[in-house]
């Protein structure tokens, strides 16, 4: 929650040079009405005897102002509309008393009335007022860190002097203000909350002299202090009192700020409706007062509220709107920095480290080095760097941030940074350093008495104990204390962390059932938070970051099943496997038949604006030689697009994938005679292979996913390489000798992989469904060597294979009904570029003559009335989109595919640019594919289209994209394949499919067998795989 400092940013920026120093005369005993434009500075003078003290009453009517005289340093007047204060100034030798006022506003006017009230005050009172004002201004120099400011102890003495002099002058309002300013200094600059509260209570105890604006400031400050002390309800009550006083004064500006604070206060108290209502009213107030900074502040508060509640979709929308508003505040880079920091924090929570790092580095570019915003950003950047495998860089950022926190005397921030650095030390086995940091943080937490900080300290202490002695009673006690505190505070994410920690404690004691219950509680919180995410990437990133907890749940369930079979634990393990796998895609499949709500005009306008920005950036991407920055912008725009689409479809974002398949469901709803399913599930200590047939289930433990990856990597690299590279100076005989050995090594590796992954398959199996993740997604299952009688053979010689994102998705696809399709095949090939910049400049795409032969051969197999071809200049993005809106059975595309690992926003299908649209229309981008209407079968006859998504959640491959678009089966490739070999395989496939009427998986198998018998190399025929479940058709033209 942002307190105190955010809107002082504007004040610190306000006094600018370049305005004419206009002089306004105040008649003795009279008054003037004055309005200052943004940044304007103006002088006021009143005639008096030299050396006489003149007293002016300043009646503020809106806007922030600076006041300054010869004797009194510049100070901010932030009481708001309705505020009144007395300002004393001595007449100079020229017989004039001078006061300078300047606007601290940057987008609106500041107004006030200046009234000469000298005659109503005695000479002694005027001396006391001058002394009070001078002392208060000098003390505030320290609070605002101005050049030449007194040191801290001197400033505290000056605040006391100001209060005493104001009391001597019988000015209760000024005394109350001086006491309040001292409290603000102690709270915001020294973190001395208890002393600050006592001072504020002292200020409130002074008599009511109708100084409503000052009293509102006291309550507003007390609200923040009570919050820092952990007294949430008291903080809310104080804030509501401040709000009532600002409303009484008609001060819409400060009313909006208090409402912005109430957004987060109500949210933490579980008053979600009140929080949203406060946010909406605050937005309206900010717009009414023409205060874009207020809009940004409120949107940031709403975004933080939604993020803390796990409502990440709404958080993203709030931060996105704040960013858009922030771009209009060019005069306030620190406000831009604040928003970038909040956005970075949001992305960090979701595990989207690339986006987080981008936002945080932008923040550091805008923020001043020693500001609190820069401090927060450095702390989060350190977290990102650690996640990216750069612990030493992270430790350097932590050290810089901690030094700034100490310099600014921000003890809560210092303690938080110490805790986070302790985790980095712990991960690098620097136990002593971690213990020292946690001990220092614990002392600060005890001193500050902040419950939330105490919770984080408990979790950090527990983590260290767990690292050194997981089974010790102290470790359990600390996690239990943290769990209770998290539940009391309503901190759901910390509650989940404590539950997960307890699970590891119980596991170390071999109390697997208690461990399973604990991790189940943690995962229940994870899934509740994920259910709020309608945007695909947000849900995927959040889910992936907690994947290790699912692995622990699987491992515990399997260990319990081993000790207590037939008690349902293996079924629990299977369900946890399914719950961790491709849930985002399962949601999408469940939503494909949902109805879209009518669009409101404002929403339609936002969608059109987003689309325009996307097209602009995609066009720039094609011509850029360095696409990194554009890719970052595109990812943000795609997130926005998903949020808008979710809003347009009126989907609440709930888990439509609540149904999770069981092993029994596989047997009842998916498998037919002669079929089996293998599902690989990663536990924390093993990988488990589930072999399910129509009548049995067998589970085999395998090595961990990391060990499997190490064993499979050399084989997968050999298959991608096709053959070894020629060494410099190597003759033909030497190369052939090395090639023969290389082929033998590959066959041995295929045999070892087959023995590891596909042992003891029932001889009756002729079709195998395979559900895998991680590195197993890159395995060419049909090429693995398995037992065939006394010898070994390729798996393709025994059965067909289909790859499934998850068991639940396979069953959902099998159950899905498709309407009759009258127009059957769309064939896209022979793509060309009619302009020099029609394909990405960072990609080098060679001609593919084989695609022409492939397309001709396929076209000859299909009656013309059932075939639509888009070839050459006709194969544009617009034409493909239009053709896919019609009823189809098959979409076949033969061209270059662009798959950039880790960057789906740079991936897509290379098409023709046509004559009209040029570069902007030459790529069907991966992120645009889910919006298409894909037919049941999509064949991607291009280079690598499969790729690897770490958890099956992220939209990272073309295959996934077409499933999101509605396809039921997708044929894709695991690696780059020779042009001629691809043409041969695709031609054979359609002959088997259309003429022999085989299933899709069997048609691919028969084609691969034919190529194998014709001595094609393994890499040429094994690359293509079938994903998904066979649809009811297609029946090409009823033929």
pLDDT at 18: 35
What's the DSSP call for residue 672? -
pLDDT at 329: 55
What would the mean pLDDT of 433-452 be, rounded to a whole number?
Answer: 91
Q: Which of 454-463, 532-541, 674-683, 982-991 has the lowest mean pLDDT?
A: 532-541
309-324, pLDDT tens digit by residue?
666 667 777 777 776 6
Instruction: State how far the Cα of 99 lies from the Cα of 1025, in Å rounded to an integer.
Output: 81
Q: Which residue has the higher pLDDT, 856 or 591?
A: 856
Which residues, listed in sequence order, are joined to residue 697 by a DSSP beta bridge?
692
The CB density around residue 580, as the number of other CB atoms within 10 Å, is: 27
Tokens read off for 102: 């300047």
pLDDT at 15: 33
pLDDT at 1: 36
pTM: 0.66
Q: Which of 135-144, 230-239, 835-844 has the lowest mean pLDDT?
A: 835-844
351-381, pLDDT tens digit by residue?
677 878 888 998 888 887 888 788 889 989 9
What's the DSSP call for residue 187? I
Question: Exposed, middle or buried: residue 648 (CB in 10 Å: 0-12, 13-18, 19+)?
Answer: middle
Short-list 548, 554, 590, 547, CA closest to 573: 554
Length of the chain as a residue count: 1039
pLDDT surpassing 80 at residue 230: no
pLDDT at 219: 96
What would the mean pLDDT of 613-624 be, rounded to a whole number?
Answer: 68
Residues 132, 171 contacting (CB under 8 angstroms): yes
Helix, strand, coil shares, percent, the chain, to 5:
55, 15, 30
Residues 344, 373 contacting (CB under 8 angstroms): no
Cis peptide before 1034 (omega within 30 of 0): yes
Please give the full DSSP string across 505-554, using - where no structure is assigned: HHHHTT-HHHHHHHHHHHHHHHHHHHTT--SHHHHHHHHHTTHHHHHHHH
Residue 251 three-state SS: coil
Tokens read off for 971: 């044929």
Residues 46, 25 contacting (CB under 8 angstroms): yes
Residue 82 three-state SS: coil
Instruction: State how far the Cα of 761 lies from the Cα of 698, in Å rounded to an integer.
Output: 10
pLDDT surpassing 50 at residue 119: yes
What would the mean pLDDT of 919-941 be, rounded to a whole number?
Answer: 83
What would the mean pLDDT of 933-940 be, rounded to a whole number?
Answer: 92
Question: 919 to each of 487, 599, 837, 883, how far by Cα in Å?
Answer: 55, 31, 6, 21
What would the mean pLDDT of 670-689 be, rounded to a whole number?
Answer: 93
Q: What angle do CA 413, 417, 423 make, to 5 degrees?
A: 155
175-205, pLDDT tens digit by residue?
999 999 999 999 888 878 899 999 999 999 9
Map tokens 């920091």 to a residue: 341
Residue 78 three-state SS: coil
497-512, pLDDT tens digit by residue?
999 999 999 999 999 9
The CB density around residue 144, as the number of other CB atoms within 10 Å, is: 16
The CB density around residue 975, as the number of other CB atoms within 10 Å, is: 19
pLDDT band for 596, please (50, 70, 90 cuts). Answer: very low
Question: 744 to each of 659, 723, 724, 738, 748, how far by Cα in Å?
Answer: 46, 12, 12, 10, 6
Q: Which of 706-715, 946-955, 1001-1010 has the lowest mean pLDDT?
A: 946-955
Strands 675-682 and 687-693, how do they pair?
antiparallel
Instruction: State how far the Cα of 874 lies from the Cα of 887, in Å rounded to an integer.
Output: 19
Contacts of 758 (CB under 8 A, 6+ apart): 678, 781, 784, 786, 795
Residues 582, 809 contacting (CB under 8 angstroms): yes
Contacts of 947 (CB under 8 A, 6+ apart): 777, 899, 901, 956, 957, 958, 959
pLDDT surpassing 90 at residue 621: no
Most distant pair of Cα atoms in the chain: their distance: 119
Residues 360, 393 contacting (CB under 8 angstroms): no
Tokens read off for 616: 């602009």
pLDDT at 178: 95
pLDDT surpassing 80 at residue 803: yes
Instruction: State how far the Cα of 371 lies from the Cα of 404, in Å rounded to an integer.
Output: 8
What would the mean pLDDT of 570-576 be, rounded to a whole number?
Answer: 92
806-844, pLDDT tens digit by residue?
999 899 888 876 555 556 899 998 887 544 444 554 455
pLDDT at 80: 83
pLDDT at 786: 94
66-95, pLDDT tens digit by residue?
999 988 898 888 888 888 999 999 999 999
pLDDT at 540: 57
pLDDT band for 1039, please (50, 70, 90 cuts). Answer: very low
- H helix and E strand count, the chain: 38, 25
pLDDT surpassing 80 at residue 616: no
Question: 721 to each of 782, 845, 902, 983, how far by Cα in Å?
Answer: 18, 19, 21, 19
pLDDT at 819: 54
pLDDT at 370: 80
**Kind and range of the H or E element at 693?**
strand 687-693
Instruction: State how far the Cα of 699 lies from the Cα of 560, in Å rounded to an integer.
Output: 14
Q: What domains, with CATH codes, occur in the chain? A: 332-449 (1.25.40.10), 450-580 (1.25.40.10), 671-808 (no CATH), 818-1038 (3.40.50.1460)
Which residues, listed in sequence order, are joined to residue 58 by a DSSP beta bridge?
85, 114
Q: Tell me, letter by letter, the H, E, C secondary structure of 337-392.
A: HHHHHHHHHHHHHCCCHHHHHHHHHHHHHHCCCCCHHHHHHHHHHHHHHHHCCCHH
Phi, psi of 368 (to 5 degrees): -70, 150
Tokens read off for 257: 């700020």
Strands 96-103 and 41-47, how do they pair?
antiparallel
Tokens read off for 590: 């469940």
Short-list 914, 918, 894, CA closest to 979: 894
Instruction: State how far the Cα of 209 lies from the Cα of 199, in Å rounded to an integer.
Output: 18
pLDDT surpassing 50 at residue 14: no
Q: Which of 61-65, 617-621, 756-760, 989-993 has the lowest mean pLDDT?
A: 617-621
The CB density around residue 338, as the number of other CB atoms within 10 Å, is: 29
Instruction: State how far the Cα of 52 lies from the Cα of 778, in Å rounded to an integer.
Output: 89
Sequence-ordered alpha helix ranges (H) in 823-933:
849-860, 877-883
392: left (phi over 0), alpha (psi -120 to 50) or beta: alpha
446-487, pLDDT tens digit by residue?
888 888 889 999 999 999 999 999 999 999 999 999 999 988
State percent of the chain over pLDDT 90: 47
- DSSP strand E in 740-866: where? 767-771, 785-788, 791-794, 800-804, 825-829
User: What is the side-by-side strand order in the sheet with 697-702?
Assistant: 697-702, 687-693, 675-682, 767-771, 800-804, 1024-1028, 969-973, 937-941, 890-894, 825-829, 867-871
Tokens read off for 377: 């950003």
pLDDT at 193: 86
Residue 919 three-state SS: helix
511-549, pLDDT tens digit by residue?
999 999 999 999 888 877 665 555 555 555 555 667 889
pLDDT at 293: 67
The CB density around residue 484, as the number of other CB atoms within 10 Å, is: 14
Residues 377, 337 contacting (CB under 8 angstroms): yes
Tokens read off for 784: 């693995």
State percent of the chain over pLDDT 70: 81
pLDDT surpassing 90 at residue 1038: no
**Taking the C-alpha atoms of 451, 456, 457 and 462 in order, what is their torsion angle to the nearest 10 degrees?**
130
pLDDT at 27: 93
Q: For the chain, what is the mean pLDDT?
A: 83
pLDDT at 597: 44
Question: 691 to each of 567, 575, 660, 715, 759, how far by Cα in Å?
Answer: 19, 15, 18, 24, 10
Max avg pLDDT among 283-292, 587-596, 655-664, 1011-1020: 1011-1020
Strands 969-973 and 937-941, how do they pair?
parallel
Residue 266 three-state SS: helix
**Kind and range of the H or E element at 678?**
strand 675-682
pLDDT at 5: 35
**Kind and range of the H or E element at 595?**
none
What would the mean pLDDT of 259-285 be, rounded to a whole number?
Answer: 84
Question: Exposed, middle or buried: residue 735 (CB in 10 Å: 0-12, 13-18, 19+)?
Answer: middle
pLDDT band for 408, please (50, 70, 90 cuts). Answer: confident
Map tokens 């008393």 to a residue: 97
Contacts of 916 (CB under 8 A, 6+ apart): none
């Amino acid at each position: 929650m942002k307190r105190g400092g955010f809107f002082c940013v504007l004040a610190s920026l306000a006094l600018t040079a370049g305005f004419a120093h206009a002089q306004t005369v105040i008649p003795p005993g009279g008054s003037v009405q004055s309005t200052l434009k943004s940044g304007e500075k103006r002088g006021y003078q009143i005639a008096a005897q030299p050396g006489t003290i003149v007293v002016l009453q300043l009646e503020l009517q809106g806007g922030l102002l600076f006041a300054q005289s010869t004797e009194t340093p510049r100070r901010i007047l932030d009481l708001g509309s309705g505020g009144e204060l007395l300002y004393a100034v001595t007449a100079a030798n020229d017989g004039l008393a001078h006061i300078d006022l300047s606007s601290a506003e940057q987008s609106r006017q500041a107004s006030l009335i200046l009234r000469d009230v000298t005659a109503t005050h005695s000479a002694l009172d005027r001396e006391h007022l001058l002394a009070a004002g001078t002392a208060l201004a000098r003390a505030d120099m320290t609070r605002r860190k101005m050049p030449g400011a007194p040191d801290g102890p001197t400033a505290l003495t000056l605040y006391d002097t100001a209060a005493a002099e104001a009391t001597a002058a019988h000015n209760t309002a000024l005394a109350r203000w001086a006491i309040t300013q001292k409290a603000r200094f102690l709270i915001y600059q020294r973190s001395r909350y208890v002393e600050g509260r006592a001072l504020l209570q002292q200020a409130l105890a002074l008599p009511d002299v109708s100084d409503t604006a000052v009293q509102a400031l006291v309550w507003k400050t007390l609200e923040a202090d009570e919050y820092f002390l952990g007294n949430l309800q008291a903080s809310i009550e104080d804030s509501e009192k401040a709000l009532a006083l600002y409303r009484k004064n008609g001060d819409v500006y400060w009313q909006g700020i208090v409402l912005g604070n109430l957004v987060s206060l109500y949210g933490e108290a579980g008053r979600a409706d009140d929080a949203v209502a406060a946010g909406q009213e605050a937005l309206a107030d900010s717009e009414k007062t023409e205060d874009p900074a207020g809009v940004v502040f409120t949107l940031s508060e709403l975004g933080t509220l939604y993020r803390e509640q796990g409502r990440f979709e709404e958080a993203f929308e709030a931060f996105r709107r704040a960013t858009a508003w922030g771009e209009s505040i060019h005069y306030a880079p620190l406000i831009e920095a604040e928003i970038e920091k909040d956005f970075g924090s949001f992305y960090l929570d979701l595990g989207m480290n690339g986006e987080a790092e981008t936002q945080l580095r932008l923040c550091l570019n805008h923020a001043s080095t020693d500001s609190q915003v820069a401090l927060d950003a450095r702390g989060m950047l350190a977290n990102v760097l650690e996640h990216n495998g750069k612990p030493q860089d992270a430790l350097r950022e932590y050290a810089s941030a901690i030094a700034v926190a100490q310099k600014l005397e921000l003890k809560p921030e210092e303690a938080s940074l110490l805790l986070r650095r302790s985790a980095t030390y712990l991960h690098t086995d620097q136990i002593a350093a971690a213990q020292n940091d946690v001990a220092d943080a614990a002392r600060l937490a005890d001193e500050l008495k902040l419950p939330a900080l105490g919770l984080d300290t408990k979790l950090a202490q527990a983590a260290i104990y767990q690292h050194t002695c997981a089974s010790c009673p102290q470790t359990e006690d600390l996690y239990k204390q943290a769990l209770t505190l998290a539940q009391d505070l309503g901190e759901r994410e910390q509650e989940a962390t404590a539950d997960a920690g307890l699970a590891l404690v119980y596991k170390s004691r071999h109390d697997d059932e208690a461990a399973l219950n604990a991790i189940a509680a943690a995962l229940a919180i994870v899934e509740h938070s994920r259910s709020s995410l309608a945007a695909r990437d947000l849900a995927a990133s959040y889910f992936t970051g907690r994947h290790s907890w699912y692995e622990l749940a699987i491992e515990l369930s399997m260990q319990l099943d081993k000790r207590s079979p037939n008690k349902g634990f293996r079924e629990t393990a299977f369900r946890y496997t399914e719950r961790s796998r491709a849930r985002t895609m399962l949601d999408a499949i469940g939503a494909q038949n949902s109805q879209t709500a009518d669009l409101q005009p404002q929403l339609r306008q936002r969608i059109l604006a987003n689309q325009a920005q996307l097209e602009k950036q995609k066009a720039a991407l094609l011509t850029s030689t360095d696409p990194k920055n554009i890719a970052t912008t595109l990812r943000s725009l795609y997130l926005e697009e998903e949020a808008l689409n979710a809003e347009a479809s009126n989907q609440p974002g709930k888990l439509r994938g609540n149904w999770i398949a069981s092993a029994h469901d596989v047997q009842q709803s998916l498998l037919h005679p002669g079929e089996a399913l293998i599902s690989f599930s990663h536990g924390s200590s093993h990988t488990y292979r589930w072999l399910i047939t129509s009548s049995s289930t067998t589970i085999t433990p395998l090595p961990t996913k990391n060990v499997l990856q190490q064993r499979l990597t050399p084989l997968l690299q050999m298959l991608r390489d096709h053959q070894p590279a020629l060494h410099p100076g190597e003759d033909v005989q030497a190369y052939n000798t090395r090639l023969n050995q290389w082929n033998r090594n590959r066959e041995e590796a295929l045999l070892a992989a087959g023995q590891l992954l596909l042992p003891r398959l029932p001889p009756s199996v002729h079709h195998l469904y395979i559900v895998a993740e991680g590195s197993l997604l890159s395995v060419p299952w049909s090429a693995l060597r398995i037992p065939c009688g006394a010898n070994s053979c390729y798996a393709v010689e025994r059965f067909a294979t289909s790859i499934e994102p998850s068991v639940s998705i396979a069953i959902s696809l099998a159950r899905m009904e498709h309407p009759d399709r009258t127009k059957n095949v769309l064939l896209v090939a022979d793509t060309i570029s009619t302009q020099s910049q029609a394909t990405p400049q960072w990609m080098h795409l060679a001609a593919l003559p084989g695609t022409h032969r492939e397309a001709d051969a396929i076209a000859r197999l299909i009656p013309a009335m059932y075939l639509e071809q888009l070839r050459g200049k006709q194969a544009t993005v617009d034409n493909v989109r239009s053709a896919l809106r019609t009823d189809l059975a098959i979409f076949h595309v033969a061209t270059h595919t662009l798959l950039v690992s880790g960057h789906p926003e740079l991936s897509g299908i290379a098409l023709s640019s046509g004559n009209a649209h040029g570069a902007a229309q030459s790529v069907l981008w991966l992120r645009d594919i889910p919006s298409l209407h894909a037919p049941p079968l999509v064949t991607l006859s291009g280079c690598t289209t499969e790729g690897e998504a770490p958890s099956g959640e992220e939209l990272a491959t073309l295959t996934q994209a077409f499933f999101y678009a509605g396809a039921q089966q997708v044929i894709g490739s695991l690696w780059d394949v020779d042009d001629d070999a691809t043409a041969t395989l695709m031609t054979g496939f359609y002959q088997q499919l259309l003429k022999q009427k085989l299933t899709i998986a069997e048609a691919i198998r028969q084609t691969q067998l034919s190529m194998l018998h014709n001595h094609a190399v393994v890499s040429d025929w094994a690359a293509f795989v079938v994903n998904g479940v066979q649809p009811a058709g297609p029946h090409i033209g009823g033929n």
